[in-house]
Structure 1
């Protein structure tokens, strides 16, 4: 006997499936020898997001400068209980606008749109500078 979902249930699940499969660019952050920062550019469209992956040590300070004010930044690490906003007025930043990394390991920085902008299908280009001291 096969288990089948009613059509109404499938209709409810389809928006979730489309947002769960958001794609975008994945880049490994690599700084030139002797430097502590790097610049990147990209474009975020609709529900897609770009991910910048880097490895850092506990206590290092991360600073993110994003040119597009209508985009958001979210930092992930497997030990963090939730993502951390790195937007300019985030309470997670210190007085110098830096985030002190709490763990040694891999971090993923995502560049994404607000849900409202994503629903409208906007395409937003950006310039990103990542510094780790």
Structure 2
């Protein structure tokens, strides 16, 4: 979780590119895909936050991997500008 202001840009880098990263928070109707090739990101790989408040980043795996009880190892770096 992190606090941010409307108009700030967030950049997420994750060590395991196979993991899916999704952002939840104010001004976001469902979630925003922050994975590396997401169309939600600008040319610098950043997403402009739509509102001020508390945001939550979730790293998800596919249902198939979860059923097999496979866990992905990863580290996450979040930059807010």
TM-score (norm 2): 0.93
Which region of structure 1 is more displaced relative to structure 2, 112-121 or 93-102? 112-121
Q: Where do 4+ consecutive residues of structure 1 move more than 6 Å?
A: none
1:80 to 28, 32, 55: 28
Greater helix percent: which structure? 1
Query: What is the aligned residue count?
Result: 81
RMSD, matched Cα:
1.0
The structure having more radius of gyration, on CA atoms, is: 1
Kindly state the Cα deviation for residue 79 of structure 1 after the two structures are TM-superposed: 3.1
The gaps in structure 1 that reach 5 residues or longer are 1-52
Matches within 5 A, 1:18-97: 53-97=1-45
For CA contacts below 8 A with separation 6 or more, give which structure has more relative contact order.
2
Q: For residue 117 of structure 1, give the secondary structure of its aligned residue in structure 2.
A: helix
Structure 1 residue 125 and structure 2 residue 66: aligned?
no
Deviation at 1:78, TM superposition (A): 3.9
Q: Distance in 1 between matches of 2:68 and 2:11?
A: 30
- CA separation in 2, counterparts of 1:70 and 1:95? 21
Return the alpha-carbon distance in structure 1 between the equivalents of residues 53 and 63 of structure 2: 29
Q: Distance in 2 between matches of 1:78 and 1:114?
A: 25
Q: Tell me how far apart the structure 1 counterparts of residues 28 and 75 of structure 2 sit (CA, whole Å).
A: 26
Please list every run of 5 or more consecutive structure 2 residues that lacks an aligned counterpart in the other structure. none
